[in-house]
Every structure is written in C-alpha cells, then in structure tokens.
C-alpha cells in the first residue's frame, strides 16, 4: 500500500504540487497562512528529511518505509519524516473542491461507530483542542475499526511511538503555524473552518485504500 506519492527518480523527497492557488480556501484558510504553511513549513520538513537521511539506509523516496522503521532512526528523522507524511495527507485533504460532507463507506462507518456526524465532529474537535502544545488530530483505521485520537509534535499513527496505531484517514494539523495568522489563539475556530474545506471525497479514497 502506498499512501504517499513521494517516490522520486532521484531517490530524494521533494515537495509535491499543491494543486490549487494559495487563496483558494479563503475565507476559511487565508492565502498568507497557506503560503507559509506549504512553501516554508512543509518544504522545510522535506529538505530537513533529505539532510537527516544522508548516509543512512536508502529508502528510495518511500516515506512509509521510513515510518515503518522509525525507531531505528534518530529524532531528526522522526520529526521530519512525520512532518513530511503528515503535511502531505493534510494538504491532500483540504481542497476547494470535492464533497464537504461524508460520503461512501466512510460515511456509513462513521455513523455506525459514532452514532451521528455531530458526535463525530465533537469528538474530533475535542481531540484537537485537547492536544497540549503542538500536534495532530486523527481519524485512524485500526484493527478495531475507526478511532479518533491525537499525537504530539509530528508523530502519527503509522509510527510505533503512537498509542493508537493504524492507517490515518483524516489528519488535522493543530500546530499554531496552521492557523495563527488568521485565527490567532482560537484553535476551535480553526477546527470549525477545517471542516469547511475538508474534501470528503479524498477522505473516502484514502479510506478505501486503507481497507484494501
């Protein structure tokens, strides 16, 4: 299974294409935040991961190979590999197009697990609000079905460090760099706006790959 598209001929990780303009998610996510987040933070993780992997085992640009064996690497690789993967899934999930409500099997399984979509949003929001400091909120497919949880820093459920392990279906960045220019300290307002740009067609696509 390949959730990542970062497989390059030169066997280095490179910044993927965003696929839309920086101002395409306004008014929910402003263009300045998108530009800083994508072109500086995401790009920075890519560059630092390449630097951190110099002289180490060749992974042929496969981020999943790095994450699968994360405990064999140092914290520089851990932080930047997590940053690369987490931001790739994040920017694939927030788009100006696609369904803005759950669809397909993911919708069915969310309703079965959480009772209704409102309860799902409340629990997902609480995971984001409850994460002290920087980190991520996740909807993850585990061996026991869908679970909502959070991870610190740039960890994710593919890593052996995570308390909840599985395949991430939805990842929401709750580092301040994801929202502070527009939403200031109001993380809750950012989370509300995150749901307004979340592409549920893409989430369903990821979910189907995760289940296969």
CA 77, 78, 79: angle at the middle one, nearest 5?
95
Strands 167-173, 135-142: pairing kind: antiparallel
> What sign results for the dihedral spanned by CA atoms 82, 3, 34, 150?
negative
User: Which residues are paired to 147 by β-bridges?
Assistant: 140
- Helices 117-130 and 187-197: angle between axes, nearest 10 degrees: 140
Q: CA 111 to CA 22: how far, in whole Å?
A: 33
**Alpha-carbon torsion angle 44, 50, 52, 54, nearest 10:** -160
- Nearest Cα neighbor of 96 from 201, 202, 25, 23 is 25
User: Do residues 137 and 116 lie in contact, with contact meaning Cβ atoms separated by under 8 Å?
Assistant: no
Query: How far, in Å, CA of 159 to CA of 91, rounded?
Result: 20
- The answer to whether the CB of 186 falls within 8 A of the CB of 127 is no
Is 8 among the domain residues?
A: no
Contact status, residue 86 vs residue 177, Cβ threshold 8 Å = no
Q: Is 31 exposed, middle or buried (0-12, 13-18, 19+ CB in 10 A)?
A: middle
In-domain check, residue 77: no
Inside any domain, residue 125: yes
Instruction: Specify if 175 maps to a domain.
Output: yes
> Cα dist. 191→12, 14, 53, 188, 209 in Å?
33, 28, 33, 5, 25
Supply 62's token pair.
């496969």
Q: Is 203 domain-assigned? A: yes
The predicted pLDDT at position 141 comes to 97
Domain residue limits at 134: 104-211
Q: Sign of dihedral through CA atoms 142, 64, 77, 160?
A: positive
- CATH number, domain of 197, equals 3.55.40.20
Total of domains in the chain = 1
Per-residue pLDDT of the chain (212 residues; tens, 9 = 90+): 455 544 334 467 889 999 999 999 999 999 999 999 999 999 999 999 999 999 887 787 788 889 999 999 999 999 999 999 999 999 999 999 999 999 999 999 999 999 999 999 999 999 999 999 999 999 999 999 999 999 999 999 999 999 999 999 999 999 999 999 999 999 999 999 999 999 999 999 999 999 88
In a domain, 71, yes or no: no
pLDDT the model gives residue 4: 56
Residue 64 lies in a domain: no
Sign of CA dihedral 20, 178, 127, 185: negative
Q: Which residues of 176-190 are buried (b: 16+ CB within 10 A; e: fewer)?
A: eebbebbbeeebeeb
| 61 is a domain residue | no
């Amino acid at each position: 299974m390949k959730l990542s598209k970062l497989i390059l001929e030169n066997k280095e990780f490179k910044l993927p294409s965003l696929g839309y303009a920086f101002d395409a998610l306004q008014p929910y996510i402003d263009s300045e935040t998108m530009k800083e987040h994508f072109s500086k933070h995401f790009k920075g993780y890519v560059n630092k991961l390449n630097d951190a992997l110099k002289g180490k085992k060749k992974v042929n640009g496969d981020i999943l190979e790095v994450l699968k064996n994360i405990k064999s690497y140092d914290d520089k690789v851990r932080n930047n590999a997590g940053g690369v993967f987490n931001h790739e899934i994040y920017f694939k999930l927030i788009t100006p197009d696609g369904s803005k409500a759950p669809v397909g099997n993911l919708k069915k399984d969310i309703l079965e697990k959480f009772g209704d979509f409102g309860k799902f949003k409340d629990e997902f929001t609480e995971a984001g609000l409850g994460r002290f400091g920087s980190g991520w909120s996740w909807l993850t497919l585990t061996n026991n079905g869908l679970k909502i949880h959070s991870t610190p820093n740039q960890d994710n459920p593919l890593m052996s460090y995570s308390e909840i392990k599985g395949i991430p279906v939805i990842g929401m960045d709750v580092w301040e760099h994801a929202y502070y220019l527009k939403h200031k300290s109001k993380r809750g307002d950012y989370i509300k706006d995150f749901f307004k740009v979340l592409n549920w067609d893409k989430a369903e696509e990821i979910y189907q790959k995760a289940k296969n």
